[in-house]
Chain A
Amino acid sequence: MVDMKNVNVHYSSGVDALVDVDLHINDGEFVFIVGESGAGKSTLMKLMLRELTPSSGRVFVNGRNLSALKGNKVAMFRRTIGVVFQEFRLIQDYTVYENVAFALRVADSSNKTIRQRVPYVLNLVDMGPKAKHKIKELSGGEQQRVAIARALANDPGLLIVDEPTGNLDPKRSYELVGLLKEINRCGTTVVMITHEHNLVRYFGGRIINLDKGTITFDETIGGSDYYEE
């Protein structure tokens, strides 16, 4: 699903964002990527989204060599993954329904598919009853659920989630990760980037720690029974 070999990312500012990174994520895994600010988490995410290409090394996602993708092939690739951002990145003028339908339209889905798929994914994240609401009428937690619904609209094999709890209170954060775990149980690979160690300890699973652009820890740990606020 995700395969990186000897990946280096060197920015023109002189910063080595990633150094000799080897990473393999299998289908169906749930992976936390943690690390301090500037550790290279965002760069890793940008590589997986093909927003960036490595200075050296190879990145394969969903069977595609991302360095070789050009033009509309990048767009086609992005339709095979779902992405959720900390700041939600929803279209504020659209309703909840329209935001999710939008991702399907982008993928050139028919009206029939849109009518069937949008209520399904909205119900999956418990946002069905608010389908007609405008985004600005929703709380942060609800907006993040809509963002997840949009990411799931095209039934992606891989869901990349960047600091999804950054704008949420602790209770909503735990609920949200619980939801992502549910999605993962249904077969979607989830890569969640976070710096919230409490969440990671609570849920457990495969943890990858980045430090100064290098993977310093890659282990699977068990979860705990309590969460810290």
Chain B
Amino acid sequence: MRNNNVSYLVKKGVSSVWKNLVMSFASFSILLVSLLQVSIAVLFILNANIIMGNIEDTNQIAVFVEDIENESQAAHDKKVEHIRDVLNANENLTDVKYISKEEAAQKWSETMSGEASELINMVPGGNPMPETFTARVTDIRNIRFTVSAIKSIEGVEQVNAPYDFANALVNIRNAFSLIIIAMLVVLIIVSIVVISNTIRASVFARRNEITIMKYVGATNGFIKLPFFVEGCFVGMLAGAVSWGLTCFIYSSVFTLFTDNLTLWQMFGFFNLIPLASIRWLLLLANCTAGALLGAVGTMISMNKYLKV
């Protein structure tokens, strides 16, 4: 197709938005509501993932070092070093910390009050606290695999891990992801169906024009292009407005959370994504999604009227 005809069709598509103002407004409104729902749902998912990540980061496993009687100090130190090296090399572990028997006793004493804090010194045979390593699991879904790898390290006596906590979190995250994905899929399908029906009404009102185009020898591409441009244009407008509304709602919610930081910190809400870091990405995503939805809806609606 010649450039002059492409630009003619694009202009026709944009001017059709104003010519068919009522139908354009109907498509715009439906797209706006759909995009607003989808973008808020997406922001919710992103933040929820971060919150879940924060909660998961509070997990801690404890690795107890085997205490062998009559073991030389050199052999013991070598064993501890070996465990430290293996733990540090494990990609699913972070914040690996060594706690000596003395430090463990000290910590225990600090948790006791008064004479009870002296109890540890009365145990026959000296300090009974074990030498330990603590670490956090990066991907809590692999906690069992990681713990079993740690157990196989020579010199490790026992590993305590928050399996119940990990299981609960993994289950919650899986269920949450499924629900959100299902919601998104339903929202997108409903949006496309509703939009294609609205645009179908618009196309129906202009079926005479389409029939004329077919009779004078217009290809399907020639006929579709202005409708496609119109759908994209309305979609982009709806995307831009939806972006503005999303930003307003999100910044209000963000302010609410950050104003009550101490309360939300308890629940791991301290790391919400700041609007400034996603504002332009959100605009791009909204406009692109709007244009795509508008275009797909238009294409679905048009095919019926192209069979002349």
Contact = CB atoms under 8 A, between A and B. Distances in A.
Nearest to A87: B208
Contacts of B215: 49, 78, 83, 89
Nearest to A80: B217
A91 B209 contact: yes
Interface stretch (B2-10, B74-82, B266-274): B2-10
Interface string A71-90: 11001111100010000011
Contacts of B213: 106
Contacts, number: 52
B216 A103 contact: yes
* Size class of the contact patch on chain B: 20 to 34
Interface in B206-252: 208-209, 211-222
Contacts of A111: 4
B107 interface: no
Nearest to A91: B209
Contacts of A225: none
A75 B217 CA distance: 4
A108 B2 contact: yes
Interface in A77-127: 77-79, 83, 89-91, 93, 102-103, 105-111
Interface of A: 49, 51, 71-72, 75-79, 83, 89-91, 93, 102-103, 105-111, 150, 154
5 contacts: A77-B217, A78-B216, A106-B222, A108-B2, A109-B2
Interface of B: 1-2, 4-5, 8, 19, 208-209, 211-222, 308
Given A91-B209, A106-B218, 17 more contacts: A72-B219, A76-B217, A78-B217, A79-B216, A79-B217, A89-B215, A102-B216, A103-B216, A103-B217, A105-B5, A106-B216, A106-B222, A107-B217, A108-B1, A108-B5, A110-B4, A154-B217
